[in-house]
Amino acid sequence: MRIGAYQFPVTGNITENMSHILDAVSRASREGVELLVFPECAVTGYPPLALPSPAEIDEERKNEAHTQLQKAAIQNRMHLIAGTIIRRGSSFYNAALCFAPDGTVTEYDKRALWGWDQENFTPGTRDGILQAGTLKIGIRICFEVRFPEYFRELYRAKTDLNVILFSDTAAQADPDRYDLIRAHIRTRAVENVCPVLAVNNAASFQTAPTVLFDASGKALCELEPEKEGLLIYDFEKKEPSFGELGRKTISDTLL
C-alpha cells in the first residue's frame, strides 16, 4: 500500500487549513497514495496556539470540513486520517478521524492529556485500532508517544503500522526537544517491532518530525522541518528479521 503523510502550517482558520488538506489529497491521489495522514488538529488548529479555545470553533464550518473529507476519501478511494476537535455536549475531544473509501468514519480521542490538553479537552476511551485496506493500523496522538503502555496496547492487537499525529512546535528552534521526540518515535517502532509513521504541524519551529521508521528503527523517509510537504512510501508488510523475531518472542513472554 502506498502511504503518505502531509505536513503544513496549521492555523485557526478552518477554510485555510482545508485548502492545504484538499490540495494535498489531490496531489496524493495523482501519486497513487491509498492512506494519507495529517497532523493533530489539522482541521481546526490546536488551542490555545492557533485559537483561544475549542469553544471558539465554528461548529457548522467544522462539520462541513468533515463532510468534505468524507467525500474526498470516497472520490479518491483513499483512507484519510486527520486531526480535529469533536464536541459532545459541553465536552471537547482532541480527535483523529479516519475517513474510509466506503464512507465510514472512525474516531480516536486522545487519552494522555496534560497542560493545554487538560485545560481544553476530555480524555477519550477508544482503542484507536482500525482497518485501512489490508493494513491494521493503530492511531496515537502527540503526548501519547511518551508512554510505551499506549503502544503496548497496539502490540497486543498485532497492528501492521502505527501512526502518530503531532502538533508539537515551539516559538524558537529547540533541537534537543526535536531529537528527544524523534527518539521516542523510533523507540516505539523498535520495542513493538512495528513501523511508525509520524506527522507534525509545520508551523513555527517543529519539535517533532514527519518521518517513517521501520520495525528496527531505520528512517525510511523524512521531511525537512518547517517546510510544507508530502511524504510518500510504498509500504509492504514484511516477515520479521532474526533480531525482530527475537524481540517479538521475548515481548510475548512479558505480556
d(CA 91, CA 187): 33
Residue 82 CA to residue 141 CA, distance in Å, equals 11
Q: What percent of the chain has pLDDT over 70?
A: 100
Helix 59-76 to helix 14-30 angle (10° resolution) is 0
Q: Alpha-carbon distance 154 to 175, whole Å?
A: 29
The cell 478552518 sits on which residue? 14
Please give the mean pLDDT across all residues of the chain. 98
CATH class label, 2-254? alpha beta
- In sequence order, the 6+-apart residues with CB closer than 8 A to the CB of 71 are none
What does the pLDDT read at residue 79? 99
Neighbours of 123 (CB within 10 A): 14
Whose CA is closest to 111, among 60, 154, 158? 154
Regions of the chain with pLDDT less than 70: none
Q: What percent of the chain has pLDDT over 90?
A: 99
**Longest Cα pair distance anywhere in the chain, in angstroms?**
52
- What are the beta bridge partners of residue 27? none
Write down the pLDDT at residue 165.
99
- 9-57 tens-digit pLDDT: 999 999 999 999 999 999 999 999 999 999 999 999 999 999 999 999 9
- If one counts every other C-beta atom within 10 angstroms of the C-beta of residue 251, the result is 15
pLDDT for the residue 183? 99
Residue 204 pLDDT: 87
CA atoms within 13 A on the CB side of 74: 10
- The pTM is what? 0.98
Please name the residue that has the C-alpha cell 475531544: 93
